[in-house]
Amino acid sequence: TILILDFGSQYSHLITRRIREAGVYCELLPCTQKIKDLDFVPKGIILSGSPYSITDQDAPHVDPAIFELNIPILGICYGLQEICYVFGNNSTELARKSEYGFAKLEINDLAEIPHANALFESVEKSTQVWMSHGDHLDTIPEGFRVIATTESSAYAAIVSETRPVYAIQFHPEVTHSIEGKTVLRNFAINICACSANWTMDSFIDKEIERIRAIVGETGSVVGAVSGGVDSTVAAVLMKRAIGDRFHAVLVDNGVMRLNECEQVKETLGSQLGINLRVVDASDIFLGKLKGVTDPEKKRKIIGNTFIEVFETESHKIDEECKNSGAGKIEFLLQGTLYPDVIESISFKGPSATIKSHHNVGGLLEDMRLNLIEPLRELFKDEVRALGTLLGISDELVWRHPFPGPGIAIRILGEVTPDQVRIARHADYIYIEEIKKAGLYRKISQAFAALLPVRSVGVMGDMRTYEQVIALRAVETTDFMTADWFEFPASVLKRISSRIINEVEGVNRIVYDVSSKPPSTIEWE
């Protein structure tokens, strides 16, 4: 394992991604992490960049114990400053000269120091890197040597003469640093001697063992599934680990997609053999949504009602388990992914309190369930790879994300059964045509939104006065920023004419050409 200590840089999670891509398991923890509190022994440590400068009064520093472990250390950007600070007897002499953008990195050959060249092994002698920093070094600590320079920084990469401590000014984790991946792989595999054995194959066996050890011989687990990839993958892992002692619950909230409930029953229940029960609560949800038009109120109603329904069902399952002699429900499955974990543990500055991990909103508090999160170490693409290995269909594995509040937040204004019918049908046709055009995997998320406005149209000889469907399709990697998707006009034409002809109540289609920011992906 490589330990990445986060000083709050916007790129910290990318370091984690790159090391994982090299097949090496790593964990990101805040820079304030105490070495004595670690529950694993790292083979190497990476210090991230930071919005701070080492010269700031409140500049963050790592636990000095990391330098006594005698394992390889790599400092990146602020991490370089931190290494110079520590090895230069806490001196903070820096030149204030910011540098952003591309630079040519020129690598020196330091044959006389055995470990010096390992970081840039197989890297071109002159290679493009990405710089983004406010300070650079004017001097380096005694006992360090320069292994690379750029035009504006004489100390773009340095190494200790006596131990495998490296520090670089550029960001190898961003794709603009063309050979950055090689640099990080060199560090993890050649310098730290980590094995490249972090594969989803090995993950499955280890995770199943871990789940069995946690749950024990008798305990049972309850978890909500939605038909999305995360909850399905988590459910299949549970099924493999403890069979029918895992109880999956699908809450039909009345605002899922067309035929979705039946589909989930078929795939999770029949095909994947998961012990699944479906609770039809659509009347309860739609009843509570009656007359409500405020987006936030809709979200709250759906969230709270979901908790009520899920809790009631969990208590029922618990009773049944106890009566049948099976173990009581002791755990709650959550499909938390690594980005959520990072978000809650990453370094937010010395004064900011670190958010407590994952808010389950008091779900099932009275049952005192323990959380079980089999995906908490994984990124989304790793979950997809895992899903494929677990035999889940491509269709499900590559499904676009779907928000918890469902199409209720894609029906602007009041959510009535008839509005649900229109929004569902239009969305179904839209997605069907996107798939037919072979564009589904190119688009990160697509959906139809139903607008509460009517416009005049003409159909045959008749005047119509009906509603508008807005089509949304975006491309994004992280859903924090997104660009609207450039459809071929012919595809839009077909979608538009099909929806208008087939969906009663719609006579106009518009395409949403707003990016995020300033718009959001969803309309509410």
Q: Which stretch binds ligand XMP (CB under 6 A): 328-336, 355-363, 382-390, 396-404?
A: 396-404
Secondary structure tally for the chain: helices H, strands E: 13, 20
Q: State yes or no: 232 annotated in a binding site.
A: yes
Other Cβ atoms within 10 Å of 201 Cβ, number: 11
369 in Cβ contact with 332 (< 8 Å): yes
- Does residue 520 bind ligand XMP (CB under 6 A)? yes
Active-site position among 171, 192, 207, 321? 171
Residue 511, H or E segment: strand 506-511
Report the residue number, 140 or 482, with the smaller CB distance to ligand XMP: 482
Q: State yes or no: 229 annotated in a binding site.
A: yes
In whole angstroms, give the CA distance from residue 361 to residue 307.
9
Beta bridge partner(s), residue 130: 102
Find the DSSP H helices in 324-416: 338-345, 380-389, 394-397
Residue 400 Cβ vs ligand XMP, minimum distance, rounded to whole Å: 8
- Does residue 515 bind ligand XMP (CB under 6 A)? no
Binding mask 468-487 for ligand XMP (x = CB under 6 A): -----------x--------
Report the residue number, 401 or 488, with the smaller CB distance to ligand XMP: 401
Report the residue number, 134 or 339, with the smaller CB distance to ligand XMP: 339
Q: State yes or no: 227 annotated in a binding site.
A: yes
**Distance spanning both ends of the chain, measured CA to CA:** 41
Binding mask 342-381 for ligand XMP (x = CB under 6 A): ----------------------------------------
Give Cα 232 distance to the centre of its chain: 16
Q: State yes or no: 406 annotated in a binding site.
A: no
In whole angstroms, give the CA distance from residue 480 to residue 129.
25
Other Cβ atoms within 10 Å of 46 Cβ, number: 30
Report the residue number, 212 or 300, with the smaller CB distance to ligand XMP: 300
In whole angstroms, give the CA distance from residue 175 to residue 47.
19
Q: State yes or no: 226 annotated in a binding site.
A: yes
- Does residue 405 bind ligand XMP (CB under 6 A)? yes
Beta strands in 117-229 (DSSP E): 126-133, 136-137, 144-149, 157-160, 165-168, 220-224
- Does residue 521 bind ligand XMP (CB under 6 A)? yes
- Does residue 457 bind ligand XMP (CB under 6 A)? no
Residue list 263-322, contact with ligand XMP (CB under 6 A):
299
Residues in contact with ligand XMP by the rule CB under 6 A: 299, 401, 403-405, 445, 479, 516, 520-522
Q: Which residues are catalytic?
A: 77, 171, 173
